[in-house]
Amino acid sequence: MNTAAKVISSGESVFIPTGYVDLKATLDGGQVFRWWSDIGGFRGVIGQRAMLLSETSNGVSARPVDGKSLNGLRRLVSDYLGQQQDLVGFQKRFSDDPCLGPALRGYPGLRILRQEPWECLFSFICSATSNIPRIKRNVGTVAETLGDVIGTGSRDVSFPRPEMITDAGEQCLRDLGLGFRAKYLVFAAESVASGELNLNDLRKESFAYARRVLTDLHGVGEKIADCVLAFSLDKTESFIVDRHILRALHKWYDLPEKASHSYAADWARDYFGDHAALANQYMFHRERLARRAKDWGGQHISRALPEDGRY
* Active site members: 223
Q: Give Cα 236 to chain centroid, integer Å.
A: 14
User: For residues 68 and 46, what is the distance between their CA atoms, to the nearest angstrom?
Assistant: 13
Other beta carbons less than 10 A from residue 30's beta carbon: 23
- How many residues are listed for the chain in this entry? 311
Half-sphere exposure of 285 (CA within 13 A, CB side): 27
- Burial (CB count <10 Å: 0-12, 13-18, 19+), residue 119: buried
Q: List the alpha helices (DSSP H) in 31-180.
A: 73-80, 87-94, 100-106, 117-126, 132-146, 162-175
Asked if 89 and 98 touch (Cβ cutoff 8 Å), the reply is: no
Strand-by-strand arrangement of the 59-64 sheet? 14-16, 59-64, 49-56, 41-46, 35-38
DSSP string covering 195-226: TS--TGGGGGS-HHHHHHHHHTSTT--HHHHH
- The per-residue DSSP string of 126-137 comes to HTTT--HHHHHH
238 vs 190: CA distance, rounded Å: 25
